[in-house]
Amino acid sequence: MTLHTPLPERAHARWSDLLRDTPAFGLILVTVAGHMALFGMLTPVMATHAQGFGVPGWQIGLMITMFAVGRLAADLPAGFLADRIGLRVLLWGGPALCGIGGLIGGLAVDYPTILTGRLVQGVGSGLYMTAATIYVARMSDRRNRGKLMALFQGAMLVGASFGPVLGGWAAAAMGASGPFLAGAVIGLATAVIAALFFRDAPRGAAAGHGHHMPAALFLSIPFLSVLAINLGVFLTRTVGQWQILPLLAQERFAAGPDQIGLAITLSALGTLAVLPFAAWLIERVPRVTLITASLLATAACLAAIVLAGTMGWLMVAMVAMGLATGISGPAIAAYAVEITAPELHGPAMGAMRFAGDLGYLVGPVSFGLAIDLTGIGQSGGMALNVGLVAVLAVLFLAAHRRARPALT
């Protein structure tokens, strides 16, 4: 399957036409879902597995940090390598590194070796996810970009949702190293699929090399504003939903893990349910208007969580936030593609991945320090997140109005 074959010029009336006309995209969706499952498989056992090596509490978090550092190190280089060596190498090389990292972690006899495996997995993940994002960018146009981005986000969400479940099963069957080994199988299988079925198109059919320089991309105010809100969205996901929310629900409502897990799951289901509508909106509503409105809606939902008087209302607010982020995610990705010259899609998508992963890495630490040093508590931390998202929405709108939103 050729990676850069353009989609037919006609508008797609049905979702099924997208997969029929671009069969490689179906494989991308399957492998992306598998990759995100690999990403989440360690969640159920990460802390206990680290404790088994007798490491202090602060070192447990290094399993997450090393993975994030690996992704950050690979995101931008992957964007620039896409045109130099082709997407196919990245699409099989990234998962292969994830598989090797899983084997290193699964067979490790000490904690530094596990961290090495996580670093290798992070590098592989950065290479693969950047390449997959570039692929979607190159396949899309204004008529189908909403549907493609919605399907891509849906695949990531489905994989991330099933990852912890699969990891729990693997741990029950093979012990604490089971999720590592199962992840290795997924990574290596994805690498084989990519190597066998994907082929790079001739250079002339791909994005090509024009006269646009990457420097112009990073000096573009609209693009910089997109990077900022992408960082904010990822930060909100890790801080607001995964870090502060569980602690807030536990402190305020004495919520147990089952209720907290249900709240997070309901938010994910809300995101998944709204994706078809998000695609419809993206193809009909001006991007900047849609992104600004969805960001402000996200801020309002975070504020509703702060003000929730019962666990039931908190869950309602989580569902609403899932709906809002389900619209903002693909809309932001579509807009980033739209304002970028085709020959700069590689660096642009690498930068988008980098910004998101940076938010994932620095968000929990920075907000945790802010809460500890100021004494504002979990509600104050969530309110801080409200302010950040609202400010980013306003700045994004202002940046779009002050600069021409195209790199030409």
Residue 90's pLDDT band, with cuts at 50, 70 and 90, is very high
Asked whether the beta carbons of 255 and 377 are under 8 A apart, the reply is no
Bin 175: left if φ > 0, else alpha if -120 < ψ < 50, else beta: left
Single-letter code of the amino acid located at 30: V
Clarify whether residues 321 and 299 are in a common domain.
yes
> How many Å apart are CA 81 and CA 336, to the nearest integer?
19
Do 106 and 89 belong to one domain? Answer: yes
What pLDDT is stored for residue 14 in this prediction? 66
2 φ, ψ to 5°? -80, 140
Whether the per-residue pLDDT at 212 is higher than 60: the answer is no
Q: Does some domain include residue 408? A: no
Distance CA 189, CA 158 (A): 18
| 331, 360: one domain | yes
**Residue 2 covered by a domain:** no
| Last residue in a domain, options 186, 205, 224 | 205
Kindly state whether residue 20 falls inside one of the protein's structural domains. Answer: yes
Measure the CA–CA gap between 183 and 198, rounded to whole angstroms. 22
**4 in any annotated domain:** no
pLDDT in tens, 47-84: 777 778 887 766 777 887 888 899 999 999 999 998 88
Q: Vertex 153, ends 276 and 134: CA angle to 5°?
A: 120
**Average pLDDT, rounded, for the chain:** 85
- 1 is a domain residue: no
Predicted confidence at residue 46, as pLDDT, reads 73
Q: Which helix (H) or strand (E) holds 163?
A: helix 145-174
- The residue among 136, 187, 146, 154 whose CA lies nearest residue 24 is 136
Q: Pick from 353, 372, 371: which is nearest to 361 by CA?
A: 353
For residue 104, what pLDDT band results from cuts at 50, 70 and 90? very high
Confidence at residue 201, expressed as pLDDT on a 0 to 100 scale: 55
Query: Would you state the pLDDT for residue 405?
Result: 44
Q: Looking at the structure, do residues 159 and 29 belong to the same domain, yes or no?
A: yes
The residues pairing with 199 across neighbouring beta strands, listed in sequence order, are: 2
Domain region containing 19: 15-205
Q: Are residues 244 and 111 in the same domain?
A: no
Q: What is the mean pLDDT of residues 251-270?
A: 86
What CATH number should be reported for the domain holding residue 253? 1.20.1250.20
Does residue 353 lie within any of the structural domains?
Answer: yes
Total domains present in the chain: 2
Q: Count the neighbouring beta carbons within 10 Å of the beta carbon of residue 162.
A: 16
> Residues 200, 223: one domain?
no
Same domain, 239 and 379: yes
Give a yes or no: residue 8 inside a domain. Answer: no
**Residue where one domain finishes, among candidates 205, 223, 248:** 205
Structure tokens at 146: 């909403």
Is residue 97 within 8 A of residue 160, CB to CB? The reply is no
Tokens 């809100």 belong to: 229
**pLDDT single digits (tens) 379-399:** 999 999 999 999 999 999 998
* Interatomic CA distance for residues 365 and 361, integer angstroms: 8
Encoded tokens for 278: 């998000």
The structure tokens listed for 336 are 């980033």
Looking at residue 200, what is its pLDDT?
67
Arithmetic mean of pLDDT, 270-278: 92
**pLDDT number for residue 310:** 94
104 within some domain: yes
pLDDT mean over 179-197: 91
Check whether residue 230 and residue 373 sit in a common domain.
yes
- Whether the pLDDT of residue 27 is over 70: the answer is yes
Residue 406: pLDDT over 60: no
If asked whether residues 78 and 195 sit together in one domain, one would say yes
> Model confidence over 334-351: pLDDT tens digits?
999 998 888 888 899 999
Which band of pLDDT confidence, cut at 50, 70 and 90, is reported for residue 230?
Answer: very high
What sign for the dihedral angle of Cα 69, 72, 77, 79? positive
Amino acid at 103: L
Nearest-angstrom CA–CA distance, 407 and 397: 18
Q: Is 26 left (phi over 0), alpha (psi -120 to 50) or beta?
A: alpha
Question: What share of the chain in percent tops pLDDT 90?
Answer: 43
| Out of 163-167, 203-207, 245-249, 347-351, least confident range | 203-207
3-state helix, strand, coil in the chain (%, to 5): 80, 0, 20
Cα angle for residues 215, 120, 3 (degrees, 5° grid):
55
Res 198 pLDDT > 90: no
Q: Which residue has the higher pLDDT, 44 or 126?
A: 126
Q: What is the pLDDT of residue 78?
A: 93
Note the pLDDT tens digit of each residue in 139-179. Answer: 887 778 888 888 898 898 888 878 888 888 888 888 888 88
Listed residues 205, 225, 258: the one ending a domain: 205
185 with 40, same domain: the answer is yes
Nearest CA to 384 among 362, 367, 404, 398?
A: 367
Q: In sequence order, what are the residues at sequence separation of 6 or more whose Cβ sits closer than 8 angstroms to the Cβ of residue 15?
A: 147, 151, 276
CA 357 to mean position of chain CA atoms: 8
Report helix, strand or coil for 309: coil
The C-alpha atoms of residue 260 and residue 249 are separated, in whole angstroms, by: 7
More confident residue, 273 or 214: 273
How deeply is 340 buried, as exposed, middle or buried, from its count of CB atoms within 10 A (0-12, 13-18, 19+)?
Answer: buried
**352 against 258, higher pLDDT:** 352
The three state secondary structure string of 211-253 is: CCCHHHHHCCHHHHHHHHHHHHHHHHHHHHHHHHHHHHHHHHH
More confident position, 308 or 210: 308
Which tokens sit at 230?
């992408």
Which range among 84-98, 187-201, 268-282 shows the weakest confidence by mean pLDDT? 187-201
Which pLDDT does position 273 carry in this prediction? 93
DSSP 8-state assignment for residue 150: H
Among the ranges given (28-37, 181-190, 258-267), the one the predictor scored with the smallest mean pLDDT: 258-267
Does residue 188 surpass a pLDDT of 80?
Answer: yes
> What pLDDT is attached to residue 16?
67
The pLDDT score that the predictor gives to residue 172 is 85
Instruction: Please give the Cα distance from 395 to 389 (Å, whole number).
Output: 10
Same domain, 189 and 329: no
235 and 155 in a single domain? The answer is no
- Say if residue 123's pLDDT is above 80: yes
* pLDDT at residue 147, as a whole number: 86
| Angle, helices 111-139/178-197, rounded to nearest 10 degrees | 30
